[in-house]
Amino acid sequence: MTAKVRTCLWFNKNGEEAARFYVSLLPDSRIESVTRSPADWPSGKAGEAIVVDFTLGGTPYQVLNGGPGFMHSEAASISVMTADQAETDRLWAALAADGGREVQCGWVKDRYGLSWQIVPEVLAGALSNPDRAAAKRAMEAMMTMVKIDVARIEAALAGP
């Protein structure tokens, strides 16, 4: 079934490769369709993927191989809520591999230049904790991290 609304991600030429990588990362993910160009166009040849519709963790996305006109930036990112440190570590390693880059505070840029936020559930809960002193400690701990460390967030919540 085609979603009425999708986030479209602009790629130069390797969007199909990126989409196939992304759907390998999360359950409830799949390639839905690949539209191949019926003719040569300024950024590619007939038969190359021009649009890829896919679902990532239950959320619909679309890739457009639009050429070199636009680059990814941190102004748009994919945020993934993780259940625990093991899931955080697995996604982080996959996204940072093969030319990806670790950033800060749970942000990582993948090999295609797309930014991701890998957010353990404990961090999301900690930052909205009604005990604002505990929330502040968790925030301060997070600000010192690159990849989020669940045990350190839990320790910050618990206090001194």
pTM here is 0.94
Q: Quote the pLDDT of residue 160.
A: 83
Q: Do the domains 1-71 and 72-160 sit in the same CATH topology, yes or no?
A: yes
Q: Which fold has domain 72-160?
A: 2,3-Dihydroxybiphenyl 1,2-Dioxygenase; domain 1 (3.10.180)
- Rounded alpha-carbon distances, angstroms, from residue 73 to 11, 16, 151: 12, 19, 30
**pLDDT tens for the 160 residues of the chain, in order:** 578 999 999 999 999 999 999 999 999 999 999 999 999 998 899 999 999 999 999 999 999 999 998 999 999 999 999 999 999 999 999 999 999 999 999 999 999 999 999 999 999 999 999 999 999 999 999 999 999 999 999 999 998 8
**CA proximity to 25, closest of 105, 90, 83:** 90
Domain covering 1-71 in this structure, CATH number: 3.10.180.10
**CA proximity to 20, closest of 12, 31, 36:** 31
**CA proximity to 2, closest of 37, 32, 34:** 32
* Domain regions of the chain by residue span: 1-71, 72-160
